[in-house]
Amino acid sequence: RQRQMCIRDRDGDFGRVRLIAHSPSVLARRLYYCVQSAGWHFCNDRYHIERETGNDNCLLLCTIGGRGVLEYGGSIYQLQPGSVALVAPGCPHSYRTPKGGQWEFYWLHFSGSGSEKFAEYIRQKNCGVLSGAVAEACRDNIQRILDLKIQRETDFETIASELIAVMLHQLVAVIPEEMADQNEAVAKVLEFIHSSYKGHIDLEMMAKAAFISRSHLVKLFEATTGYTPYEYLLKYRISRAKELLLSSRIPVGEIALAVGFSYAGNFVGTFKRMEGITPAKYRRQYHTM
């Protein structure tokens, strides 16, 4: 049974805050990604959090206005609007509003099987802070978690777990682009995939884009990104398909063709294998239009 929520919306010495706290059920603790707390802050420069021994759960910070400063993993990050940071459990860190400034952001404390591995993977790739569409998606998903809790959604724990899983996979999926600058050949292949994914692409075409052999490309690409070129192409196509599923009412068959699949059956099978659900079910669960 889902436990009673706690919602607070108040003004304080450091600014305005809206937050929820959640006590996960026994089932959720055993099987799900679990929300511990989440909220929204609009802070003045009195706001300063320091955790010398870290948290016992993961922390996601999505900046939407002003600027924050995060010290984590031996680095100092400037948290600008449109950025998202994922802090691993057990890692000393601090974050604050700069002197004389303001900072508006969403945050989410969560736990669950494997969540710390996602956070550590991102940290080890030197991508503790990411920006772009993934930050917007995380912001929207945290807001949805808040809304579900406020609305006393009976399936809150299940839906919240699914949303957290989506965010973690999206954060990992953008790492190849963030790492591209480390290798010019890989950067050229990524650029080729991003501009040509709607049409036919094979390994020979990708190798020609980078002016290297196919065997060299496979080794270099996997060493840099963690994926083979074909695996990344599929992930990128599925990522673009998810955007269309969430932002439009275009039929699934048309989306399949729009992102480079030759026929709908192949697209549906690939989507289910990679996401665990069919495109139609994904749309039903997450579509907000």
pLDDT tens digits for range 59-104: 999 999 999 999 988 788 889 998 899 999 998 999 999 999 999 9
Model confidence over 145-161: pLDDT tens digits?
999 998 887 889 999 99
pLDDT bin (cut points 50, 70, 90) of residue 287 is low
Burial class (CB in 10 A: 0-12, 13-18, 19+), 164: buried
Question: What pLDDT is attached to residue 286?
Answer: 66
Question: What pLDDT is attached to residue 76?
Answer: 85
**In terms of pTM, does the model score above 0.75?**
no
Q: How far apart are CA 91 and CA 3, in angstroms?
A: 29
Question: What pLDDT is attached to residue 182?
Answer: 52
Question: What pLDDT is attached to residue 5?
Answer: 40
| DSSP assigned state of 54 | -
Question: What pLDDT is attached to residue 123?
Answer: 73
Contact 101, 110 (CB under 8 A): no
pLDDT bin (cut points 50, 70, 90) of residue 233 is very high
Q: How far apart are CA 135 and CA 77, in angstroms?
A: 15
Question: What pLDDT is attached to residue 187?
Answer: 82
Question: What pLDDT is attached to residue 7?
Answer: 46
